[in-house]
Amino acid sequence: MRVWNTFVEGDNLEVLAGLPPGSVDLVYADPPYNTGNGFAYADRFRSADGRRAGRHEAWLAMMRPRLVELHRVLDPAGAIFVSIDDNEAARLRLLMDEVFGEECFLAQVVVNLNAKGRQLGRGFATDHEYLLVYARDARRCVLDASSPDSVDSADFPEVTGDGRRFRHLPLRNTNKKFNPATAPTLHFPVYGDPDGGQVALAPFPGAVEVTPVFGDGTPAVWRWSAPRIEARPEDLVCREIRGLRGRRVDVFQRDWLELPGGRRKKLRTIWHAEEIGSTDTAVAELKQTVGHVFESPKPTGLLRRVLQTMPDDVRVLDPFAGSGTTGHAVALANAADGGSRHCLSINWAEPTRPGTHAARAGLATVADITRARLRAVAEQVGGGLEER
């Protein structure tokens, strides 16, 4: 069994340059948000004309070569998630369009990490950040933007005698782009008994002929082919319904809550704190693991949701590892589902500020915080830790 976590201390640009092309499946990056306090990297930023770069220009100059390297080390089927706030969200989106390609943009997710909103300062009480999500190659990306955690059993109100939950979905395709002109093989009659519910391709006693129509009466098509209907009649039911044009007979699919391999639901683009955790819960989580040594960590719930979008054996890279949340989340996910994910965390030896909890705990650099957390995770959760 391979080790779940590896930690490297150093400038991420230099470390990334030493990684082989395509050696990573998933990147999560939490770069400096450029809030005006500067950022601790060895780069010396200058404009094209040699003058000292401005705040935004310097941030982009820091990010561009790192994103280029991340693009290089990503597998063609891989994906990258980057956290950012309003300070650089617009510029980062344009930069990632440039490096990864606009066609590889997958989502800009709003992440609610501060449910109460920031009450200090002027203006609005900001309660969100963003995740920018891009594929390395949109045609080959294996990212599945769904999760079992977003499935709500209340959406399946019907219950069979043996306790299985399901819902009724129209068998006809409700998208008008699919119609007898665009999908002629899916427009055909079926036969159903609205009293007993039975559905078949051929007439039978008590059955009526049913053809797919939209609510306005215009011809539609089925979502299932004739062979699929013939193979799964027990998953279909005929019912009489009241439509805009009065009563009519229609055919519905029994959509079961429990499916082979588990049911997943598409993720929305707003992730709430009660679903993935908040900055407050992340601080408490870190405190329980290694102490109160980092002011604004990400919650492991956020990273576990990211991990759920990819296979359970992915090679994960976190180039701005901070407090080590990504490595922690990888260990928790592997322990929960038996996966074999591996996380490479990189962190620069940025000095901790004098007088902070970390400094008082003897953690001289942020890299020391990352290392301490991943060591504690290896002891408490398992999976080991390789340090380079």
Residue 23 sits in a domain of what CATH number? Answer: 3.40.50.150
From 17-26, 40-49, 65-74, 218-227, the region with the lowest mean pLDDT? 40-49
From 42-46, 300-304, 380-384, the region with the lowest mean pLDDT? 42-46
pLDDT for the residue 147: 84
Residues 131 and 21 in one domain: yes
Q: At residue 2, what are phi and psi to the nearest 5 degrees?
A: -75, 155
Helices marked H in the chain — which ranges?
Answer: 12-17, 55-73, 89-100, 226-231, 273-276, 279-289, 300-308, 325-337, 357-360, 366-380
**3-class SS of residue 188:** coil
From 24-28, 241-245, 349-353, 360-364, the region with the lowest mean pLDDT? 241-245
Asked if residue 291 has pLDDT above 80, the reply is: yes
Place of tokens 């369009």: 97
Residues 218 and 365 in one domain: no
Asked if residue 53 has pLDDT above 80, the reply is: no
Domain of 354 in residue numbering reads as 5-149+264-387
Asked if residue 82 has pLDDT above 80, the reply is: yes
Distance CA 366, CA 353 (A): 10
Distance CA 192, CA 204 (A): 8
pLDDT for the residue 356: 87
- Contacts of 192 by beta carbon, 8 Å cutoff, 6+ apart: 198, 199, 200, 207, 208, 210, 238, 249, 251
Residues 129 and 32 in one domain: yes
Asked if residue 354 has pLDDT above 80, the reply is: yes
Structure tokens at 60: 């982009």
Asked if residue 110 has pLDDT above 90, the reply is: yes
Residues 136 and 16 in one domain: yes
Tell how far CA 179 is from the center of its chain: 33
**3-class SS of residue 48:** coil
Give the helix, strand, coil percentages of the chain, each rounded to 5.
30, 25, 45
Closest to 288 measured CA to CA, from 344, 339, 328, 346: 328
Distance CA 132, CA 120 (A): 26
Asked if residue 146 has pLDDT above 60, the reply is: yes
Instruction: Give the number of other CB atoms < 10 A from CB of residue 229.
Output: 21
Residues 291 and 342 in one domain: yes
Residues 127 and 208 in one domain: no
Residues 163 and 297 in one domain: no
Residues 219 and 333 in one domain: no
CB 62, CB 43: distance < 8 Å: yes
pLDDT for the residue 126: 87
pLDDT for the residue 295: 82
- pLDDT top residue among 47 and 60: 60
Residues 229 and 324 in one domain: no
Number of structural domains (the chain) is 2
Q: Within 13 Å and on the Cβ side, how many CA atoms surround 249?
A: 19
pLDDT for the residue 241: 87
pLDDT band of residue 188 (cuts 50, 70, 90) is: very high
Q: Which of 256, 289, 321 is the last residue of a domain?
A: 256
pLDDT for the residue 49: 56
Q: Is 269 exposed, middle or buried (0-12, 13-18, 19+ CB in 10 A)?
A: middle
CB 189, CB 213: distance < 8 Å: no
Residues 223 and 362 in one domain: no
Residues 377 and 271 in one domain: yes
Asked if residue 41 has pLDDT above 90, the reply is: no
Summarize pLDDT for 296-346 with one digit per residue, the tens: 899 999 999 999 999 999 999 999 999 999 999 999 999 999 999 999 999
Q: Which of 227, 256, 285 is the last residue of a domain?
A: 256
Residues 25 and 144 in one domain: yes
Q: Which of 230, 256, 282 is the last residue of a domain?
A: 256
pLDDT for the residue 309: 96
Place of tokens 């909890």: 357
